[in-house]
Chain A
Amino acid sequence: MATTLTLKELSKKEDRFTHGHRMCSGCGAPIVVKIALMATDYPVVISNATGCLEVSSCISEFTAWNVPWIHTAFENAAATLSGVETMYRSLKKQGKFDREVKFIAFGGDGGTYDIGFQSLSGAMERGHDMIYICYDNGAYMNTGIQRSSATPLGADTTTCPAGSVIPGKLRSRKNLTKIMAAHNIPYVAQASPSHWQDLAKKIQKAHEIKGPKFINVIAPCNRGWRSKTNDAIMLSRLAVNTCYWPLYEIENGTTKITVTPKQKLPIVDFLKPQGRFKHLFSPENEGLLTQVQDEIDREWEKLLKEAKTD
């Protein structure tokens, strides 16, 4: 079912994720969710890992979800959705259900890169027909900005604070998008809410592909990133333009960069507006700052090569 991806047409659709949710002012995650849900006309069923999005979108009798939604625990959005999707297939096979439904799981980086990694890997390997969308804000924001394996090198969090001896996180984030691609599933992509059309297109494309799909979406968190409430889109755009968060997809093993920055900006443009990187700009951490830039350059070069060889 094709939805025309113009803002004018999209704006005529009923909200599947409504106002009245209690995400922080200026949060990136609800922007990701609304775009993901409006990108398709298919009926969808959502599974949600415990996290900011979950606790803020369904409290007591107030749910922001105008589509069927299930939350069970932190580490198992993919496993829970496996069950829903399998029941759907079973009932369809037995002639007890006849509608076409699409399945989407949402998890933050804690619930996806870390504690939910096993259940995600299992669900993808089993081949369930679903899209798993990670909204990656780079730390455990719901519990108060603790380090996750998605936290970038050098970032200051409450469990890897920038102290007088240790300058924040000493490890680089793991590349989950590539790890999911290594599952040889039919579709893997990286997206950003700043590039809403690119994100919506990827969702649309993913829905038309049978089997497991994974989309990793950057979702700025002004509380955890120590930035302003108005900069979620600006920062996610900078993440793309500095190649911190390249927009690409891997369809049946073929890598394609979907948005190439007109001019690749230095990583400091992305880091500077964020308080979590403030200490990187003091003279003693110059080496770390160089290391951050070097890693981004190296990863970007690698990605360019992968996309070229196709």
Chain B
Amino acid sequence: MAKVVAVTGNEACANALRQVNPDVCGIYPITPQTDMMQRFASYIADGKVDTESILVESEHSSMSACIGAAAAGGRVVTATSSQGLALMWEMLHIASGDRLPIIMPVVNRALSAPLNIHGDHSDAMGARDTGWIQLWSENGQEAYDNTIQAFRIGEHMDIRLPVMVCLDGFIISHSIERMEYLEDQEVKDFVGPFKNFLPLLDLDKPKSYGPLILTDLYHEYKRAQHEVMTKVKDVVLDVAKDFEKLSGRKYGIFETYRLEDADIAIVILNSAAGTTKDVIDEFRNKGIEAGLLKPRLFRPFPFEEVAEALKHVKAVCVMDRADSFGGYGPLFMEVASALYPLERKPLLLNKVYGLGGRDYLPSHAAQVLTELHEISRSGKVNVLKEYIGVRE
């Protein structure tokens, strides 16, 4: 039976990790993640999990140790934010290249400079090309649910890839929400025992992890890695189906809100989606057919499904909480690529919002929807990419 609780996003993720009871975890503090793993450390201290922690001296070492632990053969977790994820960057590629299913909540935070501890998506977007699966979460409940499902996805024998579970720093990590916890035994049964695959500790069959691969085979290895990513979507959906049976909560590769008959739509990740949904309701009440698409699976990106979901819309605004300076926002680039093969494409625009934790207000959503409404009538996009909620 589900238990209704009032907890923060960090607390919920820490609880999910406790329920999964991993073999090893890497712990290193960084705002706003710190509080998640320190909660987990107290579970270890109180004997509530079997996990052995490694209290590393940096995030680079944290990911290195997680890779070593996962290669040794067992279930491994860590968590990070911002600069920590950036410091891990080198090792993120090695975790995925070695096909190690490490699970890592990423509490999204802006990147320096200037130094800022608040939420935006610059950190995880910077890691989008590292070969990790990325699940994004609107609220604490989704962060909790995604964390649990991540183990089944990453550890699936056809996949064996690391998974990042993204949640917005402070907005979600530190806000108390009402959510439902599964029973410990339910989570344990859902995740199942860890299945070993080429463990280094198999002493009788000595294996070498991390060879030098030059021009003769590197290209083939990367092709093989690409192939694995093509299988992720179906596994995510299968796991979501099982999870729905258990929890009653339905997950897909993305969520749509009033999109089926929409003329205009916003594509947006994580916590800002909630605010946007409210404003969409207001516009619907005014007779404007507005809708929303909120990606859950950002890596691999479900191009065909996104195109199918948006193809009937007249104008779409993709909202990025990160910028690719000198390019469009990272989410925009994916959506634009997804829509390109369509014969009749929606008009597209890109807004950058909420950097460094700048509030995303209902008025911002209203401003964007109003502009989309005008574009849907005029058929003209004036400015393709611009910042909103910014002082001149």
Contacts and interface: CB of A to CB of B under 8 A. Distances in A.
B74 A91 contact: yes
B72 A72 contact: no
A59 B217 CA distance: 11
A80 to B, nearest CB: 4
A58 B210 CA distance: 8
Interface in A121-150: 121-123, 125-126
A304 B78 CA distance: 46
A47 B69 CA distance: 12
B64 interface: yes
A60 B216 contact: yes
B68 A79 contact: yes
A91 B50 CA distance: 9
A58 B56 contact: no
Max chain B C-beta neighbours (<10 A), residue from A70, A97, A126? A70
A123 B206 CA distance: 24
Contact of A76 (B23, B91, B201, B213): B91
Contact of B61 (A55, A84, A122): A122
Contacts of A72: 64, 67-68, 91, 94, 98, 209-210
A70 B200 contact: yes
Given A70-B71, A73-B91, A118-B61, A87 B209 contact: no
Contacts of B203: 43, 45, 68, 99, 101
Contacts of B72: 45, 83-84, 87-88, 91
A82 B65 CA distance: 6
B60 A87 contact: no
Interface residues on B, range: 35 or more
Best-surrounded residue of B50, B210, B214 (most CB of chain A within 10 A):
B210
Contacts of A11: none
A81 interface: yes
B201 A122 contact: no
Given A59-B211, A93-B50, A70 B74 contact: no
Nearest to B50: A94
A68 B208 CA distance: 6
Contacts of B201: 45, 68, 84, 87-88, 91, 97, 101
Residue among A67, A79, A99, A123 with the most chain B CB within 10 A?
A79
Contacts, number: 165
A119 B51 contact: no
B4 interface: no
A208 B226 CA distance: 45
Given A83-B69, A87-B74, A101-B201, A69 B208 contact: yes
B199 to A, nearest CB: 9
A86 interface: yes
Contact of A75 (B60, B62, B68, B70): B60
A121 to B, nearest CB: 7
Contacts of A81: 68
B24 interface: yes
Contacts of A85: 68
B50 A118 contact: no
Contacts of B51: 90
Interface string A151-188: 00000000000000000000000000000000000000
A121 B58 CA distance: 11
Interface residues of A, number: 47
B52 interface: yes
B64 A86 contact: no
A201 interface: no
Given A88-B72, A91-B201, A71 B210 contact: yes
B94 A84 contact: no
Given A82-B61, A83-B66, A87-B201, A55 B212 contact: yes
A290 interface: no
Contact of A84 (B26, B60, B71, B213): B71
A59 B215 CA distance: 12
B68 A84 contact: yes
A119 to B, nearest CB: 5
A54 interface: yes
B211 A60 contact: yes
B207 interface: yes
B54 interface: yes
A126 B207 contact: no
A93 to B, nearest CB: 7
A60 B64 CA distance: 22
B207 A80 contact: no
B227 interface: no
A227 interface: no
Given A54-B210, A82-B56, A86-B65, 17 more contacts: A59-B214, A60-B212, A68-B208, A69-B209, A72-B94, A73-B91, A80-B67, A84-B200, A86-B24, A87-B23, A87-B69, A87-B70, A87-B73, A91-B73, A97-B201, A118-B58, A119-B58
10 contacts: A58-B211, A68-B202, A72-B91, A80-B64, A82-B56, A83-B76, A84-B72, A87-B68, A87-B74, A93-B52
Leading 8 A-B pairs by shortest Cβ distance = A83-B68, A122-B57, A83-B65, A71-B210, A83-B69, A87-B72, A79-B61, A79-B64
Interface of B: 23-24, 26, 50-52, 54-58, 60-62, 64-74, 76, 90-91, 94, 98, 200-203, 206-214, 216-217
Interface of A: 43, 45, 47-48, 54-55, 58-61, 63, 65-73, 75-76, 79-91, 93-94, 97, 99, 101, 118-119, 121-123, 125-126
